[in-house]
């Protein structure tokens, strides 16, 4: 089981949510999910915080063409 205390890459978040890494980065830029900027281009994600944001906003259902 992955350690929830270790920040994830966009790819790691995308795998868990079933979306593309590009989508995860777009959501972060739009402020829809929290992101941790390490350097100018390096971004990491706190999985519990991302999961809460996704659930609150129903992002995955919307991305997959579900209810809006």
CATH no. for residue 26?
A: 1.10.10
Q: Which domain holds residue 32?
A: 10-63
Whether residue 51 is predicted with pLDDT greater than 80 in this model: the reply is: yes
Q: State how many domains the chain has.
A: 1
Full-model pTM: 0.81
pLDDT above 50 for 68: no
| In-domain check, residue 25 | yes
Average pLDDT over residues 24-41: 95
Q: Does residue 48 lie in a domain region?
A: yes
User: Does some domain include residue 4?
Assistant: no
Residue 44 lies in a domain: yes
Residue 56 domain flag: yes
Question: Measuring CA to CA, how many Å separate 26 from each of 2, 3, 22, 55, 62?
Answer: 24, 24, 6, 17, 14
Q: Which of 65, 56, 49 is nearest to 16 (CA)?
A: 49
């Amino acid at each position: 089981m992955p350690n929830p205390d270790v920040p994830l890459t966009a790819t790691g978040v995308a795998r868990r949510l079933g979306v593309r890494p590009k989508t995860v980065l777009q959501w972060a830029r739009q402020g829809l999910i929290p992101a941790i900027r390490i350097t100018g281009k390096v971004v990491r994600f706190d999985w519990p915080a991302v999961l809460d944001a996704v659930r609150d906003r129903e992002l995955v259902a919307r991305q997959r063409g579900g209810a809006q």
